[in-house]
Amino acid sequence: MKIEMVDLKGQYAKIQDEIDKAILESIRSANFINGPAVSEFTKNLSDYLGGAYVIPCANGTDALQIAMMALDLVPGDEVIVPSFTYVATAEVIGLLGLIPVMVDVDPYHFNITRENIEKAVTSKTKAIVPVHLFGQCADMEPIMEFAKSKGLYVIEDTAQAIGAKYTFSTGEIKHAGTIGDIGCTSFFPSKNLGCYGDGGALYTQNQELAKKIKMISNHGQEKKYIHKYIGVNSRLDTIQAAVLNIKLKHLEEYSNSRNSAAEQYDRLLMGVKDLQIPVRLNKSTHVFHQYTLIIKENKRDALKQYLEERDIPAMIYYPIPLNEQEAYSALGIIADNLTETQKLCKSVLSLPMHTELTLDQQIYITDAIKSFLNN
Ligand SMILES: *Cc1c(COP(=O)(O)O)cnc(C)c1O
């Protein structure tokens, strides 16, 4: 049985005719930059998100950088980030001369919390970057309340959570990325809405900010050869937008497949000792970018190897806390201790998760886990 961590070939096979046609059309039109597919996709994604302004760009990392440029963050400003995340979140902070302030995460849902943010705020704090890790929203209502009370910007890193929705205590429901000042997402191929190369986007509810973001992502240009800001060259290719236009139509179905697979895993792993299945928050839906277990009793590394020997891929997201990375150890500030992050880096294990996973594959995977853990 061949099991992929992410099965992009299987997913493509099901939409091949549509995709091939759209890519060919883009090539034949030779409108490679800002062709019609880009504005179509921007409109479609905006509709999907309930009307947010959407500005496409070249990748998710650029989206984060452009967001911080658009909010006029300047060297020395502190930006609060979770210590348990992908490096891109902190990378752009360092690149802009800002100071990443790393805070611990919740040991059950892996996300940043208001309590940990509160401990990290100083007079230099300008922004918070909650990361909706593995596909589930951070608990945004208390975070937004706190940010407002302190006048802090909130930039959501929603690279892993496109399609997730958060419910406020008023009953209002918002898409991940449309809650803070700016949302940043990625269309990297393995993300939940992935293109066939690099891609990303920013969302905002603020029209002025949307205009500025659009300019910054295109050399700070107001019109051709009129440069209002120092910008970057970060655009979504027409071909990628054509692919995304097709895949966006399938996104809900993809999220449902991931949720069904997650429920199967839950069912198959229920009651198995020495592991914890993913914890769901009531306030957020989950889009299962990753299905991440906690393996107890220091058995994680041996289990991973046992699975590999049986051709079952499993990945450690993430093996090293941000603050322990060579590039960031000197740069960042560590707020309080990062006990939970440290524990998570030693105990998390993500199982194969994608839209094409079959029950047979999941039984094979979970039987191997059970036999290793002597259940
Ligand atoms: C993938 C990812 C990014 C970066 O996106 P790219 O498109 O690869 O630049 C940023 N943050 C998180 C949490 C991610 O998972």
Question: Both 86 and 216 in a single domain?
Answer: yes
Inter-residue contact 203 to 182 (CB < 8 Å): yes
User: What is the CATH number for 367?
Assistant: 3.90.1150.10
Question: Both 20 and 159 in a single domain?
Answer: yes
Q: What does the pLDDT look like over 323-363, one tens digit per residue?
A: 888 888 788 788 778 999 999 999 999 999 999 999 999 99
Distance 186 CA to ligand 1 centre (A): 6
Model confidence, pTM: 0.97
Name the β-bridge partners of 351.
291
Question: Both 134 and 274 in a single domain?
Answer: no
Other Cβ atoms closer than 10 A to 259? 15
Domain hosting 14: range is 8-103+110-249
Residue 2 lies in a domain: no
Question: Both 195 and 276 in a single domain?
Answer: no
**Mutate-to-test residue for ligand 1 from 158, 185, 186, 195, highest number of ligand atoms within 8 A of CB:** 186
Examine the pLDDT at 160 and tell me if it is beyond 80: yes
Q: For residues 106 and 322, give the distance between their C-alpha atoms in angstroms, rounded to a whole number.
A: 16
Question: Both 245 and 261 in a single domain?
Answer: no
Mean pLDDT of 35-52: 97
Question: Both 15 and 161 in a single domain?
Answer: yes
Helices (H), 218-313: 238-249, 251-269, 300-309
Distance 57 CA to ligand 1 centre (A): 13
Q: Which atom of ligand 1 is nearest to the CA of 88?
A: 10
What's the structural domain count of the chain? 2
Residue 229 CA: distances (Å) to CA of 58, 60, 182, 225, 325: 18, 21, 18, 12, 33
Residue with the smallest CA separation from ligand 1 atom 10 is 88
Contact 85 CB / ligand 1 (< 6 Å): yes
Question: Both 82 and 225 in a single domain?
Answer: yes
Other Cβ atoms closer than 10 A to 47? 12
Final residue belonging to a domain, choices 217, 233, 249: 249
Structure tokens at 51: 């009307």
Question: Both 240 and 291 in a single domain?
Answer: no
Question: Both 283 and 142 in a single domain?
Answer: no
User: What is the CATH number for 179?
Assistant: 3.40.640.10
Residue 170 lies in a domain: yes
Residue with the smallest CA separation from ligand 1 atom 5 is 60
Question: Both 241 and 305 in a single domain?
Answer: no
Distance 184 CA to ligand 1 centre (A): 9
Final residue belonging to a domain, choices 208, 229, 249: 249
Contact 89 CB / ligand 1 (< 6 Å): yes
Inter-residue contact 183 to 153 (CB < 8 Å): no
Residue 70 lies in a domain: yes
Question: Both 120 and 22 in a single domain?
Answer: yes
Q: What does the pLDDT look like over 3-38, one tens digit per residue?
A: 999 999 999 999 999 999 999 999 999 999 999 999
Whole-number pLDDT of residue 375 = 66
Final residue belonging to a domain, choices 194, 226, 249: 249
Question: Both 348 and 242 in a single domain?
Answer: no
Other Cβ atoms closer than 10 A to 152? 21
Q: For residues 60 and 72, give the distance between their C-alpha atoms in angstroms, rounded to a whole number.
A: 19
In the chain, % of residues over pLDDT 70: 100
Residue 1 lies in a domain: no
Q: Which atom of ligand 1 is nearest to the CA of 198?
A: 7
Residue 3 lies in a domain: no
